[in-house]
Structure 1
Amino acid sequence: MRKIITIDDKQEWSAYVKRALHYDFYHTWYYHSLDKSGLPILFVYEEGENYIAFPLLKRNIPGSDFFDFTSVYGYTGPISNMDFNSLEDDFMERFKNTFIAFLETGQNVTVFSRLHPFFNQERLMEKFSGVYANGKTVAIDLTTTIESQRAGYRKSVKEKIRRLRKRDYEVRISTDINDASIFSEIYTENMIRIGAKDHYLFNNAYFVALLSSDEFDSKLFLVYKDGIAISGAIVVCTKEIIQVHLLATRTANLFESPAKLLTDEITVIGRQLGYKYFNLGGGVNFKEDNLFGWKMGFSNLCFEFNSWRYIANNELYNTLLNERSLDPFSTVDFFPLYRSPVIA
């Protein structure tokens, strides 16, 4: 059986997410309600008590009567009450056929979804083809001892953390929702400094909403020096994973690298709360850049990060490329190509 749950039905959306064997906060109704770039839906394929649910954003393609689907910012992809490693082939095939039939009911051209590096959703999505390797994410294994974890830090990281502790930098977990404005100020300054695109800029209400959700446990960590907050992170805890959703440091304090002390302290809290992994994420656009190297300073444990890129209607896809005078064989790594800001 197939059903489409819209953002108007919080209770049913949340019920499927909570029943899933593995999920992340990126799958939740609340997180999707914060995204205004498209119409959030939860596609559900169900057989008895077993199901696969796939959260997506439906968007109108500018200048056309067509639509495409994408995922929210973060790690999403399908979820299920069963382990993806043990899904039966026939069940996956029926999901595939039902999802394709859904796409054929409208002028739907493509689907793009980031996949979760920890859940092996690739086993299901490879039934369609279109799974692309995007890079790697770095994680810290919180099931080892703290001594073993810290022994794996790069020497320069260990030394920097030692110096920060010696100079009385303090990491606190905020219990005051009004502190969201402090983080908002730090984060906005940081994004402006690096020239981030508009979709990476959030207002204070967004941070308050993240910290107020009843669907996941989010915490605001702040690093203080001489009574002033100089760095911070919104950390979200879901199921067995703890991860930094957003992190920023004041420009004037970047040279001190307070985020290194912050990262170490987050692992301490993560252990106390019983989480299995601290997901640090990847580099910018998941390239092995300086940011990726910074994260590797804490751990050499990496997971593959993939995306799913599917053309549901080749005729409409090629029509859109032709209208925009785009080469269908372009090597530009952007999907769908007709939305590429580089060559559009």
Structure 2
Amino acid sequence: MRLTTGFTSYLYCFETANVRIICPIAEREFEGHVDIVTPYGFSGFVGNGPCLQFPFYWSEFVKERGYVCGYIALNPIFEKDAYFNLNKAYRSNTLYFLDLTLSINKLFSNLHKNRRRKLKDFDKTVFISDRNALTNFLVGNYPAFLRRVQAPRAAYFTRETLISLCSLDNVVVVGAGTVEKIEAVYIFAHTRYAADCLFNVATPEGRHYATLLLWWGVNYLKSKHIALLNLGGGVRENDSIARSKEFFGPIKLPFRALKQVYQPKIYEELCRRRGADPADKTGYFPGYRSPAVSD
């Protein structure tokens, strides 16, 4: 995401004899100080085992780097409570996951009848796999699509970011449309452990392809023996996007994030300069970056 934000980004890695813990972070400068955040679409603190001493080592790391504070999103399927203080974790949304270890028939039966009806033409649909053409469609239609769905500003990726993502070996791009033109594209990213729905972009006339393209992805990812598919969540809790994802019969898990302050005095001063309440961590964090506060 550095191609969009310009932030210095890297993968933090902690290792002991038997445990490895990683976390992608991006550094952001603000009035001569630096805070950290997990890059958009990434979640922090994933490890292969428990380490009760990790919070101490993390505290030493951020102190050594001089960070003011950190916003660390947590993936609910990978998070381990031993890595962080639960009192600093705040729930902001719900994420929806499909269990791809279930049979395709069971996944189909879990669908809402509306979604099953949309799949009646699945075998007749011509899916498009031309990566170059689909990438061009994504790049050309992405800004207008975001404006139409009123997406948050963090979702506005640059052309370079979109092209880079679509070129990755672990990213799958599929589309649909008519003989004359592409009308919709769906993009999935995956590892051998789990997959994510990254983007679904469509023209107004191509919106009806969303369920068909997602179901194509379910079949493809099952063929790769990937266990979970993250459908994401809504822009806000229980909005129309979230409700549409419930139609797939998913597992629902809380999406939480750590809101950690490493240098309280500096954090409080930066918040005061912007008219933000430094004690309030229930809303936008860090408070001094909130678009709602005065300049």
What is the TM-score when the length of structure 2 is the normalising length? 0.90
Q: Which residue of the other structure, out of 174, 186, 206, is the alignment partner of 2:161? A: 206
Residues 139, 163 of structure 2: 8 Å contact kept: no
Contact 1:75 1:117 survives alignment (8 Å) = no
Look up the SS of the partner of 2:283 in the other structure: coil
Q: Which amino acid aligns with 2:186?
A: A
Q: For residue 52 of structure 2, what is the aligned residue in structure 1? A: 92
Give the Å deviation of 1:151: 0.7
Cα distance per residue 1:302-338 (max 9 Å; x no partner): 1221111101111111111222222334576111111
Distance in 2 separating the partners of 1:317 and 1:327? 10
Secondary structure at the residue paired with 2:119? helix
Deviation string for 1:177-224 (max 9, x for gaps)? 34311122232321122343443223443222112235xx11111012
State the match for 1:71 in structure 2.
38
1:190 aligns with 2:140: no
Query: What corresponds to 2:89 in structure 1?
Result: 131
Query: Which residue identity lines up with residue 16 of structure 2 in the other structure?
Result: E
Q: What corresponds to 2:249 in structure 1? A: 299
Alpha-carbon distance in structure 2 between the residues aligned to 1:269 and 1:195: 30
Give the Å deviation of 1:296. 0.7
CA distance in 2 between partners of 1:332 and 1:131 (Å)? 10
Q: In the alignment, what sits opposite 1:109?
A: 68
Contact 1:154 1:297 in 2 (8 A): yes
What 5-or-longer segments of structure 1 have no aligned partner?
1-31
Per-residue CA deviation, residues 144-168 of structure 1 (Å, 9 max, x unaligned), is: 1111111111111111221x448x5
Do the aligned partners of 1:65 and 1:107 also contact (CA within 8 Å) in 2? no
CA distance in structure 2 between the aligned counterparts of 1:331 and 1:201, rounded to whole angstroms = 25
The aligned counterpart of 2:79 is: 120
Q: Does 1:235 align with 2:188?
A: yes
Q: Which whole-Å CA distance do the structure 1 matches of 2:141 and 2:135 have between them?
A: 10
**What amino acid maps onto 1:151 in structure 2?**
S
**1:228 is matched by which residue type in structure 2?**
K
CA distance in 1, matches of 2:56, 2:280: 29
Match of 2:209 among 258, 272, 276: 258
| 1:204/1:169 CA distance change after superposition, 3 Å | farther
Residues 239 and 309 (structure 1 numbering): CA distance in 2 closer, same or farther, change over 3 Å?
same
Decide whether aligned partners of structure 1 residues 60 and 205 sit closer, same or farther in structure 2, where only a CA change above 3 A counts.
Answer: closer
Distance 1:139 1:199 in 2: 22
The residue aligned with 1:52 is: 21
For the 8 Å contact 1:320–1:338, the answer to whether it is kept is yes
Change in 2 beyond 3 A, CA 1:239/1:336: same
8 Å Cα contact 1:183/1:233 also seen in 2: no
Equivalent residue in structure 2 for 1:273, among 213, 220, 224? 224
Q: Write out the 4+ residue segments of structure 1 that deviate beyond 4 Å after TM superposition.
A: 329-332
Mapping for residues 103-182 of structure 1, pairs under 5 Å? 103-126=62-85, 129-162=87-120, 164-165=121-122, 168-174=124-130, 176-182=131-137
Going from structure 1 to structure 2, the CA distance change for 1:38 and 1:227 (only over 3 Å counts) comes to same
Identify the residue that residue 23 of structure 1 maps to in structure 2: none
Partner of 1:4: none
Q: Is the 8 A contact 2:151 2:235 kept in 1?
A: no
- Provide the C-alpha distance between the structure 2 equivalents of 1:276 and 1:332, rounded to a whole number of angstroms: 33
- Secondary structure at the counterpart of residue 327 of structure 1: coil
Partner of 1:312: 262
> Among 163, 184, 201, which residue is 1:248 paired with?
201
Aligned residues: 294
Closer/same/farther in 2, CA of residues 148 and 240 from structure 1, 3 Å limit: same
How does the TM-score come out when normalised to structure 1? 0.78
Q: Answer 1 or 2: higher relative contact order, Cα 8 Å, separation at least 6.
A: 2
**Preserved contact between residue 186 and residue 231 of structure 1 (Cα < 8 Å):** no
Question: In angstroms, what is the RMSD of aligned CA positions?
Answer: 2.2
- Is the contact between residue 35 and residue 72 of structure 1 (CA under 8 Å) also seen in structure 2? no
Tell me the SS of whatever aligns to 1:245: strand
TM-superposed deviation, 1:283? 0.6
Distance 1:305 1:337, change over 3 A: same
**2:278 aligned with 1:328, yes or no?**
yes
Q: Deviations over 1:119-138 (max 9, x none)?
A: 123331127x4111122211
Q: Report the Cα distance in structure 2 between the residues aligned to 1:252 and 1:177, rounded to whole angstroms.
A: 22
SS in 1 for 2:64: coil
